[in-house]
Structure 1
Amino acid sequence: MPLPQKIRNVAIIAHIDHGKTTLLDSLLNQSKLFRDNQDMGERMMDSYDQEKERGITIFAKHTSLPFDDYKINIIDTPGHADFSGEVERILGMVNSVLLLVDAQEGPMPQTRFVLSKALQMGLRPIVVVNKVDRPHADPDRVLNETFDLFTELGATDEQLDFKFCYASGLTGFAKKHLEDASIDMRPLFELIVEAVPAPQGDPSHPFLMQALTISYDDFVGRQACGRILDGTVKKGQNLALTNVSGKPIFFSVTRIQSHLGLNKVELDEASAGDIVIISGMPDVTIGDTLSDAKEVVQLPPINIGEPTLSVEISVNNSPFVGKSGKNVTMNKIRDRLEKEKKANISLKIETDANDNDRITVSGRGELHLAVLIEAMRRESFEFSVSKPRVITQEIDGVKHEPIEKVYVEVPEVYSGQVIEELSRKKGEMQHLSTTEHGITKMEFLIPTRGLMGYRNDFLTVTRGLGILTSIFEGYAPWKGPLKGRLRGVMISGCAGKTNGFACFNLQERGTLFVKPGDEVYEGMIVGENSRDNDLIVNVTKAKQLTNVRASGSDENIILTPPLQMTLEQAINYIEDDELVEVTPSEIRLRKRVLNETDRKRKERGL
């Protein structure tokens, strides 16, 4: 059991794709926790399937590394703005942060967000200029830009006097000066031991800890993770859990766990300063206080940022229900969402008392919600998802909506189109500058609903050369109506199997979402119309056969490959009268009302 002065607690924060997880790989490799012939692969901490596929960190991960006679607890945090709720809580667990900055790109929008949170909490960050071995790296410029950012965010004199080093997570070296030899990660380990303050706390005081992250185990139930603020905890010890109500619930500790490398290790006891996972409490949530049963204490609750987007999840009632999924009833969907709510506190799940066939799920952004929907889909769930809606607030009797701060970098030739499109979506330009390399940098304030679904159009307009990132800025008065999708859709008028002849005749009318041989049903969206109106089509119509055969009478048809939408693209594409049908094998688009006659009646209010 290490003494508090021999423990260092630190989190790694950065903009998305600036190399947090890769740097942690190098630290893990140098800690000699694995065999020499053990193949651990890349991005070891990204253990979740979707993290490996998307190439991003979604959940904060804990690890512990030995260095000389010190124990260094490191937490890898998500870089995407949608998962900023994870970052906010983690900062309460550590005594400093490693702020990673790309040696070429410099500070980016999410760098600003996570750094401001760290500075507000009084932490003194250590700046790591990463990827210094890249061809176009300019570490001196990036270091100056980072200092300017510290100043802009109101850092104190002590915070401005930050320690820094240069590193390459991919190659596996760190150095305090650019002219030093590139050997290994030891200089970074030494900097952490030197610059990160030891955790406060006295092992002789009564036990005290606040739950900052929650996990769930099928055998022991909910588990609370946090830093022990005071005292010592032993297996079998009686503790008190105090939630927002202020009424303590007493329980016995069944398990104490810590981290070592990629594994959890069970402990008999742990003391002040260490980060541990405690099991045994009946129910626990973020911000609850765990204290000695003889001296009950309640710490101030933790404020978590409110969700900004919501979707409605309902039972799949299409003709293809149950073809590929096993869990199709509302009871199973509700149980799965309630289980998610236990571990993912930044999601909000509400059931409508008047409508048992629908559940509203609210989150921080499209990706936040899409990760949950994709996870359920992989667990053989089948359901329908509505178009996302922004969550508005009533402030002083005026309707307010969420606003995003958008940072855009595009080649100068495309800047005019981007400005025109964002202005049409009620965006207000805050800043514009063009570098000597012909890259235009812009900042906009734009309603969240104006940004929904725009990212794909942005990549098309900029030929994939643009960068667009956004961060929640706050609430502003409602900006008025926004134009929706510019084009209509092609809707199947009958059920059946598509064929090449019908697809060939329809592809000149727009873009198809289906290919020959796909099963369709009435009311299913099979493509995008080239005009602004919806079009009923027969995508199952076969060629009329005759008994006359002659060379050249049959054309050799050439079909354009169909557009295959990802889950996020599909959710952003649909309108209010449409749904995304999510199944383990397929993602389909459909109208809420499948029958054409019923849709027309509904439009006329009959």
Structure 2
Amino acid sequence: MMNIRNIAIIAHVDHGKTTLVDKILHTARVFRDNQDTGDLIMDSNDLERERGITIFSKNAAVIYNDVKINVIDTPGHSDFGGEVERVLKMADGVILLVDAFEGPMPQTRFVLQKALQLNLKPIVVINKVDKPNCRPDEVHDAVFELFFNLDATEEQLDFPTFYGSGKNGWFNDSLTEREDILPLMDGILKYVPEPKVNEGPLQMQITSLDYSSFLGRIAVGKVTRGSIKESQPIALVQTDGSIKKSRVKELYVFEGMGKRKVTEVVAGDLCAVVGLEDFNIGDTICDAETPEALPVISVDEPTMSMLFSINTSPFFGKDGKFVTSRHLRDRLIKETEKNLALRVEDTDSADSFLVYGRGILHLGVLIETMRREGYELTVGQPQVLVKTVDGKKHEPYENLVVDVPADFSGKVIDLVTQRKGEMLVMESKGEMQHLEFDIPSRGLIGLRSQMLTNTAGEAVMAHRFNEYKPWKGIIPGRNNGVLISKNQATTTAYSIDKLQDRGSFFVDPGEEVYVGQIIAEHIKPGDLIVNATEGKKLTNMRASGSDDSVRIIPKIQMTLEECMEYIQDDECIEVTPKIIRLRKTLLNEEERKRQSKSMKA
């Protein structure tokens, strides 16, 4: 039987997890010497490559010194925490990666807490020691303090530490630079325990899903006891306790970046099972004769909801392939099968669905993925979930961490306190100020863009869900109103030029607009209906002054997440495969006036 080590790599976003996995794959010679692999091999999804973040956890396996190491690369954003929690179940040890300048960040704390609760053996790797101003020794002390605050056991506190630079391709157990990452590879073999194997018949929990258009849905997990064989009859114990009989068609183990077909997998190894029907994450695959379920995986609750509806604008169906409510419903239900932290509920209207997620990024990635697949939809303003505890309204609060140059710290504190945030910590880290706040989740919506504007793009902010606390009262929304298109036509440079002193435009000349579309931000509070489609009246008389060439400021380009943070409750976003437009929910001005009167009454 082969020696096995299962290890997950956890860290805050951008601390270098995927780069480290690249180095492990190269060290174990998974690729031929002349094979061009590029960087960030594990981030295979287009969205991941564009944003430079990991969204889906992935598996790879390498052989080093005759030991098989299963490596699990996990996401770093708290919005994908649901993904991290369940894949940690497959690991026996974790590599905690920490940036040598930033030190432990909120997300480091979140994933480390989960790993310590599962009693996984930690190895700390302090990455990016080649950065200027880095402080590896201070960071090491901060990591120790974090372990201590998270009630780590004596054994967990005695963690080995490695230093290095993933980008330059070296890791060592001291700060001496070298050519390779062999000390870290040896450390994995030395410190990560072999999988604990219990005696008894087969048990395997499904911790993630894979999909292949050829094989259908594939169950991935770790065999915790017994062994699983090809064509073996099994019992599938579902999370609600019901038991289904099934049969294993094919078995695969991970090898390099891909999978290899095998006839049997023994306890301790990770495998992919083909041929099961109607299974979900958290179900247990057991021996057909003696079905015993493993404890169900619990995933943190969603904290935010958004209304997804069909596209009702005058331009619907121009770009997308899937435009009906049935298409939308089927796609959302399919997403909940593999995206554990997502929930979908029907509403009073057959055309709209309430979608619950872990944050703006979590929902934004879903919308962006759907739009690339050819869906058209309208999404409303993100709303936080409110609970009633002892008859009082409670809302989610988050722990917000901001690192910013000292000159801008006053502006940051001012911005966060306006949004009902309370400062907990303020300390200097070199030339940067490190600020920590307790803030309602509502206060974070739209905060990032304002903060970057006020700090000349220097602020680095990170946040994670903390707990539900009493409602904090009204938080001021956007200060400025918007300019709304009066008619449906093509915008002209002549009209936009005349309106530029009224606001900043989201459209360029020559774009098609419709009644009720938001085309610019007003310079004052309150909305204004404008005509941006009027052409210049042509005469054969020349006039000095009116014939100056028009000078148009380029339009403001907003990403999907920025749009989600920008809109107010009477507005929504029209998302199609080619374009993202902002609009009023009610396009007709008379209807909007009627509704605002009835709201006041």
**Could you say whether these structures have the same fold, taking a TM-score greater than 0.5 normalized by the shorter chain as the test?**
yes
Q: Which amino acid aligns with 2:155?
A: E
Q: Summarize the alignment of residues 67-106 of structure 1 with structure 2, pairs less than 5 Å apart.
A: 67-106=64-103
Q: Summarize the alignment of residues 374-393 of structure 1 with structure 2, pairs less than 5 Å apart.
A: 374-393=368-387
Q: Summarize the alignment of residues 506-525 of structure 1 with structure 2, pairs less than 5 Å apart.
A: 506-525=499-518
Q: Summarize the alignment of residues 9-20 of structure 1 with structure 2, pairs less than 5 Å apart.
A: 9-20=6-17
Structure 1 residue 289 corresponds to structure 2 residue 284: yes
Equivalent-residue separation in structure 1 for 2:546 and 2:382 (angstroms) = 49
Match of 2:212 in 1: 217
Structure 1 residue 483 corresponds to structure 2 residue 480: no
Shift of 1:524: 0.4
Match of 2:562 in 1: 569
Q: Choose from 413, 417, 422 the match for 1:428.
A: 422
The count of aligned residue pairs is 599
Match of 1:465 in 2: 458
Equivalent-residue separation in structure 2 for 1:562 and 1:133 (angstroms) = 39
* CA offset digits 1:554-580 (Å, max 9, x no partner): 102211111111100111111111110
Match of 1:405 in 2: 399
* CA offset digits 1:417-443 (Å, max 9, x no partner): 2111211111111111234x4422111
Q: More deviation in 549-558 or 223-232?
A: 549-558
SS at match of 1:125: strand
Q: Summarize the alignment of residues 534-549 of structure 1 with structure 2, pairs less than 5 Å apart.
A: 534-549=527-542
Q: Choose from 520, 524, 533 the match for 1:527.
A: 520
Q: Which amino acid aligns with 2:342?
A: L
Structure 1 residue 195 corresponds to structure 2 residue 191: yes
Match of 1:319 in 2: 314
Give the conservation status (yes or no) of the 8 Å contact 1:366–1:568: yes
Give the conservation status (yes or no) of the 8 Å contact 1:210–1:288: yes
SS at match of 1:508: coil
SS at match of 1:190: helix
Shift of 1:402: 0.7
* CA offset digits 1:203-247 (Å, max 9, x no partner): x73111111112333344332211101111111100100113322
Structure 1 residue 260 corresponds to structure 2 residue 249: no
Equivalent-residue separation in structure 1 for 2:31 and 2:376 (angstroms) = 41
Equivalent-residue separation in structure 1 for 2:341 and 2:246 (angstroms) = 26
Q: More deviation in 215-224 or 326-335?
A: 215-224
Q: Choose from 536, 549, 556 the match for 2:549.
A: 556
Match of 2:337 in 1: 342
Equivalent-residue separation in structure 2 for 1:103 and 1:452 (angstroms) = 30
Structure 1 residue 590 corresponds to structure 2 residue 593: no
SS at match of 1:605: helix
* CA offset digits 1:268-300 (Å, max 9, x no partner): 111100011112221111221110101111122
Shift of 1:550: 6.1
SS at match of 2:350: strand
Structure 1 residue 142 corresponds to structure 2 residue 139: yes
Q: Choose from 35, 40, 58 the match for 2:37.
A: 40
Structure 1 residue 235 corresponds to structure 2 residue 226: no
Equivalent-residue separation in structure 1 for 2:297 and 2:248 (angstroms) = 23
Structure 1 residue 167 corresponds to structure 2 residue 164: yes
Match of 2:25 in 1: 28
Match of 2:265 in 1: 270
SS at match of 1:355: coil
Q: More deviation in 494-503 or 411-420?
A: 411-420
Q: Choose from 196, 202, 206 the match for 1:207.
A: 202
Give the conservation status (yes or no) of the 8 Å contact 1:223–1:284: no
CA distance change for structure 1 residues 553 and 509 in 2, over 3 Å: closer, same or farther? Answer: closer
Match of 1:357 in 2: 351
Q: Which amino acid aligns with 2:191?
A: A
Give the conservation status (yes or no) of the 8 Å contact 1:393–1:399: yes
Runs of 4+ in 1 over 6 A off after TM superposition: none
Equivalent-residue separation in structure 2 for 1:30 and 1:293 (angstroms) = 41
Equivalent-residue separation in structure 2 for 1:145 and 1:596 (angstroms) = 57
Please, what TM-score do these two structures have when normalized by structure 1?
Answer: 0.97
Equivalent-residue separation in structure 2 for 1:140 and 1:529 (angstroms) = 50
Structure 1 residue 186 corresponds to structure 2 residue 182: yes
Give the conservation status (yes or no) of the 8 Å contact 1:227–1:275: yes
Give the conservation status (yes or no) of the 8 Å contact 1:64–1:72: yes
Equivalent-residue separation in structure 2 for 1:134 and 1:489 (angstroms) = 44
Shift of 1:586: 0.6
Match of 1:129 in 2: 126
Shift of 1:36: 1.1
Backbone CA RMSD of aligned residues:
1.4
Q: More deviation in 307-316 or 112-121?
A: 112-121
Identical residues among aligned pairs (%)? 48
* CA offset digits 1:308-352 (Å, max 9, x no partner): 011111011111001111111011111111111111121111112
Please, what TM-score do these two structures have when normalized by structure 2?
Answer: 0.97
Structure 1 residue 247 corresponds to structure 2 residue 242: yes
**Runs (5+) with no aligned partner, structure 2:** none
SS at match of 1:211: strand
Shift of 1:551: 7.2
Shift of 1:458: 0.4
Shift of 1:136: 2.8
Shift of 1:168: 1.6
Give the conservation status (yes or no) of the 8 Å contact 1:24–1:169: no
Equivalent-residue separation in structure 2 for 1:111 and 1:71 (angstroms) = 27
**Runs (5+) with no aligned partner, structure 1:** none
Give the conservation status (yes or no) of the 8 Å contact 2:515–2:587: yes
Equivalent-residue separation in structure 2 for 1:323 and 1:24 (angstroms) = 42
Q: Which amino acid aligns with 1:328?
A: V
Equivalent-residue separation in structure 2 for 1:569 and 1:103 (angstroms) = 30
Equivalent-residue separation in structure 2 for 1:222 and 1:485 (angstroms) = 44
Equivalent-residue separation in structure 1 for 2:525 and 2:546 (angstroms) = 35
